[in-house]
Amino acid sequence: MGLPCLAAKPAKAAKTAPDAPANGVDLKAVLARLDTASAAFKSAQADITTDIVQKVPIPDDDKQTGAILFERKNGELAMAMHLKTDNGKPAAKDVVFAGGTGKLYEPMLKQMQVFKTGANQALANTILALGFGGSGKDLEKNWEVAFAGLDPVDGKPFAKLELVPRDASVKKTFPKVWLWIDMGNGLAVQQQFFDPEGNYKLATYRNIRLNGKVPSDAFEIKTAPGTQVVNH
């Protein structure tokens, strides 16, 4: 199971050798920053742009924009994403992961799909926490981590990590992940997930607001009358 909708083209690979310091930043410093950020993390809200690039079997490129919210409560991380455009055209979609359940609501289709994460809960938690509440210790526990230097996103340098899952089931879905971390707040500004065929999902986060107030109904989806619910 992967995120249903995970912008900008992938940044060029950093030329710095893995784990080598770059302007005083190295793997140890990034992991320590993630530990500090995780201890203080309650929530994060941001604008999100996604770029889903398929190379095989048929080349395709799907760009989406919207807003996303993460909240950690009682030790669990929840996520709500509200997509507004698809390739520049209005196309509302709501995606929520909370309490072991994922929901995808497409108002234009009057359909909501419901997924019980079940055996995939570990994968969901591992993915959701990447750069949003996950500690450096957890990152090393779940991934083989290499520092790839400072790499630009929107023209600004950020610490880039190359991740390989330690869990075989995660590796089957995402054999490689790139993660860009803002050393200022310890949050992700970009994530890139590669599948075994080389297709990828790139998510870029802008206008990040940390630990703001989260509405009590933030992880509820209000559906229109006549919406079909499909359980998986």
pLDDT at 157 over 50: yes
With bands split at pLDDT 50, 70 and 90, how would you rate the model's confidence at 18?
very low
Q: What percent of the chain has pLDDT over 70?
A: 91
Provide mean pLDDT across the span 34-42.
97
Per-residue model confidence as pLDDT tens digits over 93-149: 999 999 889 999 999 999 999 998 877 777 788 789 999 999 999 999 999 999 999
Extended strands (E) in the chain: 43-54, 60-73, 76-86, 89-98, 101-106, 111-116, 143-153, 156-165, 176-181, 188-194, 200-210, 228-231
List the domains of the chain with CATH numbers: 27-213+225-231 (2.50.20.10)
Provide mean pLDDT across the span 207-232.
95
What mean pLDDT value characterizes the chain? Answer: 89
| CB distance 149 to 14 below 8 Å | yes
Per-residue model confidence as pLDDT tens digits over 162-182: 999 998 888 999 999 999 999
Least confident range of 6-15, 26-35, 92-101, 180-189: 6-15
Residue 192 or 6, more confident: 192
pLDDT at 67 over 60: yes
Provide mean pLDDT across the span 49-72.
94
pLDDT at 30 over 90: yes
Label the pairing between strands 228-231 and 111-116.
parallel
Per-residue pLDDT at 21: 64
